[in-house]
A and B are shown apart, each in its own frame.
Chain A
Amino acid sequence: MTDRLSARFATCKSQGRAALITFVTAGDPTVADTPAILDALVEGGADIIELGMPFTDPMADGPAIELANLRSLGSGTKTKDIFALSAAFRQRHPDTPLVLMGYANPMLVRGSDWFADQCKAAGVDGVICVDVPPEEDAEIGPALRGAGIHLIRLATPTTDAARLPAVLSGASGFLYQVAVAGITGKQQASQAAIEQAVGALKKATELPIAVGFGVRSAEQAGAIGRVADGVVVGSAIVDIIGSHGDAAAPFVKEFVAALRSALNANSPHFRETAA
């Protein structure tokens, strides 16, 4: 089986740069606007797309993504729309990995098997479920693994060495290193703290390590990209959609392109081809 996620991380590695992982909320501001925004992410140079499933109560998210959730639900986004958006994305972009990110209740309301089947049918590669820790893996893990969908786990600044094996067991695709103890968007971790955390994780796992939460600028992304296998940017993109609404796509593309240049700048490969 060709695994889009590992193939993409391998490509990035061969290019000597970190993968650019971008997050937007599905249906923000409307379902009709999402395809153009997803295309803008890819055209701007995103390697992996995280598509947020909106939830009424996104309690791990800061104001930017919370508002995106409410805009999306306010314009009537349904779960079936999210799978339709995913399937259409897969048609247009056969090689770009797509990861659904969200909360347990909308994912599990029809049962984990239903959710895993829908993911598979729509060409979704992985799932991040914010409020299912390893202790509750039975809710979603077996169904996803059975369908060949990666369950991407999160490690945080509070995940100590004793706990890390539990997080890693059953994790696949990549490991998401949450840079700050907190919610999305707001605080920023110091480069030193990120480097230390990534170093510790690399000793414990072969999985690619992507760092996210609080990454807002090309400069930051570039710095993190020097140590991590992937950099996740969410709130900063969601803010652009928040201010430009249905006209956001070109602005999103421009910003993503700047992020990507910063990652490319770390790479001998790109420095040569640019010269």
Chain B
Amino acid sequence: MPDTITLPNSLRSQPDASGHFGAFGGRYVAETLMPLILELEKVYKEAKQDPAFDAEFAELLRSYVGRPNPLYYAERLTEALRADAPEGKGAKIYLKREELNHTGAHKINNCIGQALLARRMGKKKVIAETGAGQHGVATATVAALFGMECKIFMGAKDVERQKPNVFRMKLLGAEVIPVVSGSQTLKDAMNDALRHWVSNVHDTFYIIGTAAGPHPYPELVRDFQSIIGKEAREQILELEGRLPDMLIAPVGGGSNAIGLFHPFLDDTDVKMIGVEAAGEGLEGKHAASLAGGKSGILHGNRTYLLQDEDGQITEAHSISAGLDYPGIGPEHSWLHEIGRVQYMPITDDEALASFQKLSALEGIIPALESAHAIASAEKVAPTLDADQILIVNLSGRGDKDIFTVASALGVEM
């Protein structure tokens, strides 16, 4: 495909040989895990060169995930924003419909790819961490598909908050392990998944759910998720005959965002916004690692983290469980520092308003994560000309969030 050519000065040639994106990334793991991580890197390099690997991945994305999903012109949202915008303003908004994938989010793209790698490495057991349960459900799904034994680590608080997804994972044959340590949320689930992995390296593959962790995870998760941007690029060229002016995606760890952005990184006219969860606002509790954090080391990589002056990790907060994490993938830290991508904080309240707005205007209930991106688009589109094009990544559907949203709105169900 023409969009995969990498030029010498390309922004798409990261990470370097040791897994660094500029000053970020790397492999900060216990010695016990190092040999396995080096082995994974080797296996992934071979798989990338193997047309059969690519063909099987593509076929599963087509027949099992339901790709390609549409790039949809959100006309009513576009018009509603134009109505309040100055004359001639109000960009045309397209939605990349990741929420139509099997299991309802982009997470499955990555899980299929990693399950193929696990099989290639001869591992019959997979583990994963999950916050909202989306990555847990996607991992349990591919484990069922590949006939692998599956354990999902989930903070005890999240197990309580996300009962439907817990039941889904169990139906799919996974064992859900509530994590009672620390803050009992996503970062603690990741700690316990790492603890389990270190004790079971010989037969277990860790399917990390976002573009973070030790090298080569940020790279391979990005590559598997890049199907989002590759499709969007082809689709917009077909629909509009040109590239978009702007891309917007929500950023938890950053996998859906880097998946959309990466194929466009060398197209200098395409601007990009990654949306961080500002929770109660940047002065209160939030999960905006770039806006409110600084560089540090956690979960295998150097990246921006929410932390205090002693380097202790501070608890994140977002109404969206999928964004409720005190770190961010290392490639985003790098893209932030070089200024290629702009990162915008969006609060719980703004996301809640957009959650309702998109549902009512377009008949699409977005995931709360994706609602953050919609809120950002609502701010940005009216500042762009009406003939400009904006693509928003609708990373997931909101069925999982209806209880959270109802309770935030004071509605009894």
Interface on A for B, CB 8 Å cutoff?
Answer: 55-63, 66, 70, 73, 78-79, 103-109, 130-133, 135-136, 139, 153-160, 163, 167, 178, 180-183, 186-187
Q: Does B352 contact A (CB under 8 A)?
A: no
Cβ distance B40 to chain A, nearest Cβ, rounded Å: 13
Which of B34, B191, B307 lies in contact with A59, CB distance below 8 A?
B191
Residues of A within 8 A of B202 (CB): 181
Question: Does the CB pair B311–A105 fall under 8 Å?
Answer: yes
Total A-B residue contacts, Cβ distance less than 8 Å: 115
Which chain A residue shows the least CB distance to B312?
A: A56
Question: Does the CB pair A156–B32 fall under 8 Å?
Answer: yes
Question: Does the CB pair B199–A109 fall under 8 Å?
Answer: no
Q: A59-B194, A105-B307, A156-B32 are in contact. List 11 more A-B contacts (CB 8 A).
A: A57-B191, A60-B194, A66-B181, A106-B310, A106-B311, A108-B311, A130-B30, A135-B26, A158-B201, A159-B34, A182-B198
Q: Does B28 contact A (CB under 8 A)?
A: yes
List, sorted by A's number, 7 A–B pairs whose CB atoms are closer than 8 Å: A109-B307, A109-B310, A130-B30, A133-B27, A159-B34, A181-B199, A183-B195
> For B28, B191, B201, B296, which residue has the most chain A Cβ atoms within 10 angstroms?
B28
With an 8 Å Cβ cutoff, the count of chain B residues facing the other chain is: 36
Question: Does the CB pair A182–B32 fall under 8 Å?
Answer: yes
Residues of B within 8 A of A107 (CB): 311
Question: Does the CB pair A105–B181 fall under 8 Å?
Answer: no
Binding stretch for chain A, among B219-227, B270-278, B297-305, B387-395: B297-305
Distance in angstroms between the alpha carbons of A58 and B35 in the assembled complex: 21
Which of A58, A61, A131 lies in contact with B29, CB distance below 8 A?
A131
Distance in angstroms between the alpha carbons of A13 and B188 in the assembled complex: 42
Question: Does the CB pair B18–A135 fall under 8 Å?
Answer: yes
Distance in angstroms between the alpha carbons of A136 and B35 in the assembled complex: 14
Distance in angstroms between the alpha carbons of A70 and B313 in the assembled complex: 12
Cβ distance A73 to chain B, nearest Cβ, rounded Å: 6
Q: Does B408 contact A (CB under 8 A)?
A: no
Distance in angstroms between the alpha carbons of A127 and B27 in the assembled complex: 19
Interface on B for A, CB 8 Å cutoff?
Answer: 18, 26-36, 181-182, 187-188, 190-191, 194-195, 198-199, 201-202, 296-300, 305, 307, 309-313
Question: Does the CB pair A155–B31 fall under 8 Å?
Answer: yes
Question: Does the CB pair B28–A131 fall under 8 Å?
Answer: yes
Which of A62, A79, A153, A154 lies in contact with B310, CB distance below 8 A?
A79
Cβ distance A59 to chain B, nearest Cβ, rounded Å: 4
Distance in angstroms between the alpha carbons of A107 and B28 in the assembled complex: 13
Question: Does the CB pair A59–B313 fall under 8 Å?
Answer: no
Which of B34, B35, B191, B305 lies in contact with A105, CB distance below 8 A?
B305
Which of B18, B182, B310 lies in contact with A70, CB distance below 8 A?
B182
User: Given the interface contacts A59-B195, A183-B199, does A105 sit within 8 Å of B298 by beta carbon?
Assistant: yes
Residues of A within 8 A of B36 (CB): 158
> For A105, A108, A139, which residue has the most chain B Cβ atoms within 10 angstroms?
A105
Distance in angstroms between the alpha carbons of A61 and B310 in the assembled complex: 20
Question: Does the CB pair B32–A178 fall under 8 Å?
Answer: yes
Question: Does the CB pair B31–A167 fall under 8 Å?
Answer: yes
Name the 7 nearest CB pairs between A and B, nearest first.
Answer: A109-B311, A182-B199, A106-B311, A105-B311, A156-B32, A104-B297, A59-B191
Distance in angstroms between the alpha carbons of A56 and B181 in the assembled complex: 10
Residues of B within 8 A of A79 (CB): 310-311
Cβ distance B287 to chain A, nearest Cβ, rounded Å: 16
Question: Does the CB pair B199–A56 fall under 8 Å?
Answer: no
Cβ distance B41 to chain A, nearest Cβ, rounded Å: 11
Residues of A within 8 A of B201 (CB): 158, 181
Distance in angstroms between the alpha carbons of A132 and B388 in the assembled complex: 47
Residues of B within 8 A of A105 (CB): 296-298, 305, 307, 311-313
Cβ distance B51 to chain A, nearest Cβ, rounded Å: 30
> For B31, B32, B296, B297, which residue has the most chain A Cβ atoms within 10 angstroms?
B31
Residues of A within 8 A of B296 (CB): 105, 108-109
Which chain A residue shows the least CB distance to B296?
A: A105
